[in-house]
Amino acid sequence: MRHLAGVGIEYGTEWVIEHLIQQHCETVDGEELFEEMLDECYEEVTIGNCSFSPSDVMKECDPTAFRIGVSEYLNSLAEDLQVYEVNGDYYNVTDIEDMLDDIESE
């Protein structure tokens, strides 16, 4: 068997998959996903005649808690195999599956 030095095989194949994901899939917007989840789970906040979405209230009143919530929510989605993390960016697993199906059919 011929040695394939210099082509990256000695480093495994995970980097190839991650490269394909980065090249062919779009990252998810963690803040947007977290905002949607908050707004679906909690009712609007009403003060007088004004109503505010729960995500806007949290983002404005406690931006640190909001950022932590985004991070924890993305980690939760990753644990549930709904998103996949590559170098700090998250990708929708269904987009990755679609990309792999497209590559397979070529």
Taking residue 91's Cβ as centre, other Cβ atoms within 10 Å add up to 20
For residue 71, which of 15, 101, 106, 33 has the smallest C-alpha distance? Answer: 33
Question: For 75-87, how does the pLDDT look when each residue is reduced to its tens digit (9 = 90+)?
Answer: 999 999 999 999 9
pTM of the model: 0.79
DSSP state string for 66-102 = HHHHHHHHHHHHHHTTSEEEETTEEEEHHHHHHHHHH
pLDDT tens, 32-66? 999 999 999 999 999 999 999 999 999 999 999 99
- Secondary structure (3-state) at 27: strand
Say which amino acid occupies 53. S
Query: Using alpha carbons only, what angle is made at residue 28 by residues 24 and 30, rounded to the nearest 5 degrees?
Result: 160
